[in-house]
Amino acid sequence: MRYLKMQKPTTIAKDQVTIVIPVKNEEAAISLVIDELIQEGYSNILVVDGYSADKTLQILETKKGVTLIQQHGKGKTGAVKTAIENVTTPYLLVLDGDYTYQAKDIQRLLNHCANYAQVIGVRDRKNISLIHRLGNWIITKSFNLLMSTHLSDLCSGMYLLRTDVARNLELGSRNFATEVEIAAQTSVDYEVTEVPIGYRRRLGKAKLSWKNGFEILSAVVALARKYNPVLLFSAVSMSAIIPAVACSHGYSTVN
C-alpha cells in the first residue's frame, strides 16, 4: 500500500490576523476571552461594542493591547461592518465574546485561510442545547439546499475571512442572520471550507431565542432569492410537483 506524502498547510502568522469580538453586555465573559487570546499570542484584538449597559466597557479599559471601538448600525451585522472598516491586517477572525469558543482553535482556521476566502469553525455539539441543535440543523440544511453548498454549521460564531473579500461584502441583515449573509456571498463567489472546533457553555445571559431561528430561516430564503434564484425557483417548483404527482397517482388508483 502506498501512502501519499501530505503537504503541510500554509500557516498564516498570528500578527496577520485581527481578532474581531462583537460585544454587548458580556461582563461575565469578556475578560476571560481577552486573557485567553493574549496567552495564545494574538496581538491584534479589536472589540466592537454595541453600547453595553453593564460593566463590559470598564473591564475592557483595563486590558492592554486591545483596541475598543463602538459600532454603528444595528445588531451584530453593524458590529461586523464597523470592524471591517477598521481592520488593517490581511485576515480577520470573528469571535463571539461569550467564552464559548477556545482561542487555541483559531490556529486550525489559520492553517487553511491562505487557500480559502472563508474558513468556518464547526462546533462540537455536546454543549449546544437540543433545541439549538435542531434549529441550526434546519437552517444549515435549508441553506445547503437553496445555495447548493455542503456546510455543517452555518450559525457558528467563529469564522475567518480574507479582509479584501470582507470589504466587498454587502451586509444589511438584522439580528442574528449575519453569518448566513456572509456565507451566502462567499460561497457564491469564492471558496469556503470548514474545520472542527471546541465549544463551551456560554457565560452570561443567552441572547438567541427560537424566534431568532425563524428570522434566520427567513433570511436564508431571502438570500437564496438574491444570490441563487435559479436553484430557489427549482426547489419551489419541485415542492409543488410532489403533491401534484401524489394526487394524480391517487386518482389513477381510484379509477
Cell of residue 84, nine digits: 471591517
108 belongs to a structural domain: yes
193 belongs to a structural domain: yes
Low-confidence ranges of the chain (pLDDT < 70): 1-10, 175, 204-214, 229-255
Q: How many domains does the chain have?
A: 1
Cβ-based neighbours of 137, under 8 Å, separated by 6 or more: none
167 belongs to a structural domain: yes
| pLDDT in the model for residue 26 | 95
Asked whether 219 and 180 are in contact (CB, 8 A), the reply is: yes
253 belongs to a structural domain: no
User: Global pTM?
Assistant: 0.83
5 belongs to a structural domain: no
Cα gap 206→137, rounded to integer Å? 19
Cα gap 226→218, rounded to integer Å? 13
Asked whether 101 and 117 are in contact (CB, 8 A), the reply is: no
171 belongs to a structural domain: yes
Cβ-based neighbours of 50, under 8 Å, separated by 6 or more: 22, 23, 24, 70, 71, 75, 76, 78, 79
- Strand runs labelled E in 129-245: 158-162, 192-197
130 belongs to a structural domain: yes
234 belongs to a structural domain: no
Asked whether 63 and 34 are in contact (CB, 8 A), the reply is: yes
Cα gap 176→21, rounded to integer Å? 15
What letter would DSSP give residue 4?
Answer: P
Cβ-based neighbours of 9, under 8 Å, separated by 6 or more: 111, 112, 114
Q: Annotate 17-51 with DSSP letters as a single string.
A: EEEEEEESS-TTTHHHHHHHHHHTT---EEEEE--
Give me the domain span that covers residue 158: 14-229
| pLDDT in the model for residue 203 | 81
- CATH number of the domain that residue 85 is part of: 3.90.550.10
b/e per residue, 181-203, with b = 16+ CB within 10 A?
bbbbbbbeeeebebbebbbeebb
